[in-house]
């Protein structure tokens, strides 16, 4: 991964960022301030450090849990980059990264604070069109750009380009445009009854559409060699759809239905796509099958309709639901709110493990992640093995702002049920604009 550029000066507690020999004329970063140095001075200084033994570099890396700091170390010079390669697989995974609007990011630190904001080194071919991030998987980011037909009221507020970019290798994969205004000769549609439901969904292939992606998930990494599928929750002018794509397809396919309208959370797990209605506690499973058009939806089932009534819920209150895969299991995370719509406050958080062997799915409440942590946001949810890091507290849920409760950001402890603020100072700059214009962050758990 190339060095990252900073949007603000690094605090004094941060490691010194030293540029490689290719940056000699612009100086080095010392204590956050650029210092001019002559070429001879630079070469003399670098020569003292080039011969540092790889074993020492390995020890230093163990004290750098943040990916940005590890990147700075590797970017000092070619010898250091080569020297640390043999130690990367021996290190605990770097602490998670929060990808912010406009493809900026901040690393989580050991004391739960977020590091200074930096820019993701997005290639120029996709960086010039005001992209926003809508999903992540194993170092890959899903991005969209505004439609270039924004002057046309039919396409206003829709997205235009869609792409995948690897945050480390910077490889770009372009997906079909998110506005299609011509029927393809291979157009087809069908209605699918929802198993255990009293309604049906509508599946279309090669159709006209206008999409605006809110969340993107992957069935597997584009680097895996497997035939991966990209699924997206799209909402354009109140029209809610699930859009699907896999390599080789020229257009997005989608499915929709009145009874699955509203904010959603998507999870791809064990060759199934799970679709959760965020505020209605309805969970659907979606199975796909190959056909001559690429693939199609073959089966949709309603597998969860209500929560267990273990204890009474406050009448008139609201819920917000998310899903995450943890240790091979699907977890349902539920926030309960007061009934006051304008000033809703969190009453409590509940976590259930889904029992997929029953019909409908069973729910077993859990009170521990075995030392791991969960990160929750409308751009996706991730689990993280916090126990691999010394001094990092486990059994926490980090909530970042989402499209329903933009100022809802806190850390919840599974151990004692307490809640405390999270990232208030860093994210405050994004709340000066109207809430409907906010782009919401996603968690990127970086690969080594």
Those residues with Cβ within 8 angstroms of residue 433's Cβ, 6 or more apart along the chain or in another chain: none
The 8-class DSSP code of residue 371 comes to: T
**Span 198-216, average pLDDT:** 89
Judge whether 275 and 303 are in contact, CB under 8 Å: no
Judge whether 184 and 115 are in contact, CB under 8 Å: no
Q: Tokens in use for 111? A: 């004391």
pLDDT of 2 higher than 80: no
Which segments of 281-378 are extended strands (E)? 282-291, 294-304, 318-326, 329-337, 346-355, 362-365, 373-376
pLDDT, tens digit (0-9, with 9 covering 90-100), for 245-288: 999 889 999 988 877 778 889 999 988 999 999 887 889 999 88
So what's the pLDDT on residue 29? 25
So what's the pLDDT on residue 19? 23
**Span 34-44, average pLDDT:** 49
pLDDT bin (cut points 50, 70, 90) of residue 405 is low
Query: Rounded to two decimals, what is the model's pTM?
Result: 0.81
**Span 94-98, average pLDDT:** 85
So what's the pLDDT on residue 426? 61
pLDDT bin (cut points 50, 70, 90) of residue 33 is very low
pLDDT bin (cut points 50, 70, 90) of residue 428 is low
pLDDT, tens digit (0-9, with 9 covering 90-100), for 126-143: 776 678 888 888 889 999
């Amino acid at each position: 991964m190339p060095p990252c550029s900073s949007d603000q000066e690094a605090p004094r507690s941060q490691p010194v960022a030293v540029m490689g020999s290719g940056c000699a004329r612009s100086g080095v970063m010392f204590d956050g301030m650029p210092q001019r140095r002559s070429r001879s001075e630079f070469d003399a200084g670098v020569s003292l450090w080039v011969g540092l033994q790889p074993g020492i570099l390995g020890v230093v890396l163990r004290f750098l849990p943040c990916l940005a700091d590890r990147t700075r170390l590797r970017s000092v010079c070619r010898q250091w980059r080569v020297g640390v390669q043999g130690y990367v697989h021996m290190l605990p995974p770097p602490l998670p990264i929060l990808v912010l609007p406009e493809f900026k990011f901040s690393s989580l630190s050991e004391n739960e604070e977020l590091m200074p904001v930096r820019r993701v080194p997005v290639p120029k071919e996709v960086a010039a069109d005001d992209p926003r991030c809508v999903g992540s998987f194993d170092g890959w980011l899903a991005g969209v750009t505004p439609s270039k037909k924004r002057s046309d009221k039919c396409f206003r507020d829709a997205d235009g380009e869609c792409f995948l970019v690897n945050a480390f290798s910077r490889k770009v994969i372009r997906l079909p445009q998110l506005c299609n205004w011509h029927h393809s000769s291979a157009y087809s549609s069908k209605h699918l009854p929802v198993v255990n439901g009293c309604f049906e969904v509508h599946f279309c292939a090669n159709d006209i559409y206008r999409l605006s992606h809110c969340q993107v998930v992957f069935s597997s990494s584009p680097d895996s060699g497997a035939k991966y599928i990209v699924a997206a929750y799209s909402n354009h002018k109140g029209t809610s759809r699930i859009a699907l794509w896999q390599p080789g397809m020229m257009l997005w396919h989608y499915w929709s239905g009145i009874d699955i309208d509203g904010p959603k959370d998507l999870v791809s797990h064990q060759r199934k796509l799970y679709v959760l209605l965020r505020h209605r506690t309805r969970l659907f499973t979606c199975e796909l099958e190959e056909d001559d058009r690429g693939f199609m939806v073959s089966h949709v089932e309603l597998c969860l309709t209500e929560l267990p009534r273990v204890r009474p819920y406050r009448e008139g209150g609201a819920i917000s639901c998310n899903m995450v895969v943890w240790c091979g299991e699907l977890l349902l995370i539920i926030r309960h709110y007061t009934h006051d719509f304008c000033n809703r406050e969190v009453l409590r958080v509940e976590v259930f493990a889904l029992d997929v062997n029953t019909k409908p799915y069973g729910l077993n409440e859990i009170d521990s992640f075995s030392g791991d942590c969960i990160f929750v946001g409308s751009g996706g949810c991730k689990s993280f093995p916090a126990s691999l890091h010394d001094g990092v507290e486990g059994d926490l849920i980090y909530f970042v702002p989402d499209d329903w409760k933009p100022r809802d950001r806190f850390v919840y402890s599974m151990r004692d049920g307490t809640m405390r603020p999270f990232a208030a100072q860093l994210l405050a700059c994004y709340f000066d604009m109207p809430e409907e214009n906010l782009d919401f962050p996603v968690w990127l758990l970086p690969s080594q």
